[in-house]
Structure 1
Amino acid sequence: MVRLTADLIWTSPHFFNAVRERELDLRGNKIPVLENVGATEDQFDTIDLSDNEIVKLENFPCMNRLTTLLINNNRITRINPNIGEFLPKLHTLVLTSNRLTNLVEIDPLASLPNLQFLTLLDNNITKKPNYRLYVIHKLKSLRVLDFKKVKLKERIQAQNLFASKEAEEEAKKESVKTFVPKEAAVVSKEVQQTPKKVAPTPEQIIAIKAAIVNSQTLEEVARLEEALRSGQLPSDLIINDDATTENEMSTDDGETRKNDESANMDQD
């Protein structure tokens, strides 16, 4: 394992990513503990901590610039209850393939005032009763959960289901009682990385996130969801270069996407 030292932070790759955000790449270092994060001097919009050994999401200094945190394929089981005080502008959090198990464990995320995009795929928490409605209930600003838009119908269902504090507490208790085999909770990274589900790269996650938000039809949303399940991304979301991706993510690119779709239909 490797300590997250100031030297590691200073010598790790940093660049402008596909959406012109300044990104720090700390992935794949077998980091067990978040520490010395202040050495970033709050100079980054995105920090990629994927493919490490981190257990607790904590020890952040006040970072007023950070908007995206990629921390998939770690061992997260606990989140600092006051994380929102330190990451006030965080709007995207990728926690795919971690070890969150019970509904109560995501409660600290409610302290993030601007959290809009969250994925918890490949965590045992997703198997709990009313998981999605509970997360929608707790995280009021959420727009996309597990790459699916949060619909008004779901917000109403969540509000009705958890109309009282007692209902919320009962859901937490039921979550704890729901049996999850020990083997599933401690599954090895080799098993997590089997081909049955291919995780997209950070660049593809950003592109998919924008595409879902800007999608105009249910068919387009269904196409993106199927791409995520299969691991085969649509050709119009492949990251070729900064300029192409920036155009794809622009909120004014609707006409371009429509033309591309028409061209594909003509070819078929």
Structure 2
Amino acid sequence: MVKITLELIRKRSEHNEGEISTLEEIALHQENIDKIQLIDRHCRYLKILLLQNNLISRIENLSMLKRLEYLNLALNNIEVIENLEGLESLKKLDLTVNFIGNLQSVKNLRWNENLEQLILMGNPCADYEYYRQYIVATLPQLRELDMQEIERSERIKALQIYARARDDVIESYQRYEKTRIIERTRRNAALEMTEIKTNTIEEEQENKKNEAENANTEQDDEAENERFWKQPSYHTPEDRIAIAERSLKKQEMRNHSSDKRDNRPKRVLKLFAPNGRAYNINQAKVSFKLNDEDDPDFVVLEVPVYRHLDTSYVDVDVNPTYVRVTIKGKILQLTLPCEVSVERSNVRRNTTTGNLVVSMARLIPCTTIVKKDESVKKKESKRETKILTVRPPVISRRALLEIGPSSDIHDFLMVTKDSAKQAQTDEKNLATEKKNLENFEDNPDVPPLE
């Protein structure tokens, strides 16, 4: 089980910069603590103490916490309310889901005059018939019990039946004590069987020496764990302790196996080929940009690193044929396209982005790279002017809408008319058109028809 130590208290007091003497609040929950100690000696200014979900079986070593106002001991193995007389400022006490069967022990809270809230839900005593009436009559300073306000009329009724409630509490506790005796006997028998099996396994382990036998031992341990987790468990302090011990043992085995894996020889990272050529390695898995085309005098490597990463975690090693950047122990190594001068190379970080910029001077300037003239760039940047020819809109000829039937429709009523009369009318029409043409005079002022 876990013991309360100064290191644990200091670890849980990070909000107070690790200072214990002036600590006013501390949470030590879910730590498998089985005993309260050291807190009252080193943390006398505590106002809030959280010890829920542990394996504490007794309330002790808290009498010096004169300023403590809230004590949480829920989900523990406490069976008796005791040793709280010295908590003069205690206002709230949480004992949810413990194993308190002796309800008469609440009398020990009469000395806590400032106690206003008490929570006992989930305890065996909460199933007693006169559980609430007995507590209300016993502790006149209480205002809330199990998060329910105590009214004045309820207190008067509880005082009237106090004698009956007290007798019922005593009888109920006697019945519960018989049940606890049976549970302890059953647990002791199970422990004896476990000890016998453990002794036989230890004797077998002493006789086994080779690896195969060790493998069989591990299988036996797994079988024992499987048997333990499949057997029925009961809501008792002994079973809670056994489950916690088994869980801790399993965790230790996991840590031991992980330590064995960690002790295995790790793969050595190869940085160079047998012929001395540097490998390209990106162990850091970072993106990078190696620019050797824009500048004839320098090869520039830009590596984006975390903006707020301290420079002490970054190391750069420039060599004539390769460059190596180490970021928090992870290596980025690149071969260079040409030889560079180590003395004339420089390293800096971009103040805006935090990127690492490595400028490596070439030993022999590259003549194939020609710097672009700024005037040419300006001319290229200018947009070419385009001449747009605007043409007038094309006006289409007007089309007259035809009203009535079209001329190509045959009039079948004309079939019954006399053809001779029709011929005479046609001749008359032609004669009139000829006369009109003979009498026509051309006026030059009138424009021609389109």
Same fold (TM over 0.5): yes
Asked if the contact 2:137/2:155 (under 8 Å) is kept, the reply is yes
Which one has the largest radius of gyration?
Answer: 2
Question: Matches of 1:56 and 1:179 in 2, distance apart?
Answer: 19
More helix as a share of residues: 1
Deviation at 1:99, TM superposition (A): 0.6
The answer to whether residue 32 in structure 2 is matched with residue 30 in structure 1 is: yes
Kindly tell me: are residues 14 and 91 of structure 1, through their superposed partners in 2, closer, same or farther at Cα, counting changes over 3 Å? farther
Question: Which one of the candidate residues 33, 49, 52 is aligned to 1:50?
Answer: 52
> 1:77-133: CA deviations, max 9, x gaps?
1232x522x201000011111110132132222221111011111101100120001
2:84 matched to which residue of 1?
83
Q: In the comparison of the two structures, how many residue pairs are matched?
A: 181
Q: TM-score normalised to the size of structure 1? A: 0.61
More strand as a share of residues: 2
The answer to whether residue 172 in structure 2 is matched with residue 170 in structure 1 is: no
Superposed, which structure 2 residues align to 1:118-267 within 5 Å?
118-162=118-162, 167=164, 169-179=166-176, 182=183, 183-186=234-237
Asked if the contact 2:81/2:100 (under 8 Å) is kept, the reply is no
The answer to whether residue 70 in structure 2 is matched with residue 73 in structure 1 is: no
Asked if the contact 2:130/2:169 (under 8 Å) is kept, the reply is no
2:113 matched to which residue of 1?
113
* AA at the equivalent of 1:127: D
Deviation at 1:142, TM superposition (A): 0.5
Question: Matches of 1:109 and 1:121 in 2, distance apart?
Answer: 17
* AA at the equivalent of 1:83: L
Asked if the contact 2:80/2:102 (under 8 Å) is kept, the reply is no
Question: Matches of 2:81 and 2:29 in 1, distance apart?
Answer: 19
Runs of at least 5 residues in structure 1 that lack an aligned partner in the other structure:
191-268
> 1:237-258: CA deviations, max 9, x gaps?
xxxxxxxxxxxxxxxxxxxxxx
Asked if the contact 1:118/1:142 (under 8 Å) is kept, the reply is yes
Q: TM-score normalised to the size of structure 2? A: 0.37
Percentage of identical aligned residues: 27
Deviation at 1:187, TM superposition (A): 8.7
* AA at the equivalent of 1:73: L
Q: Which has the bigger relative contact order, CA under 8 A and spacing at least 6?
A: 1
Root-mean-square deviation (Å) = 2.5
Counterpart secondary structure, 1:83: coil
Deviation at 1:13, TM superposition (A): 3.6
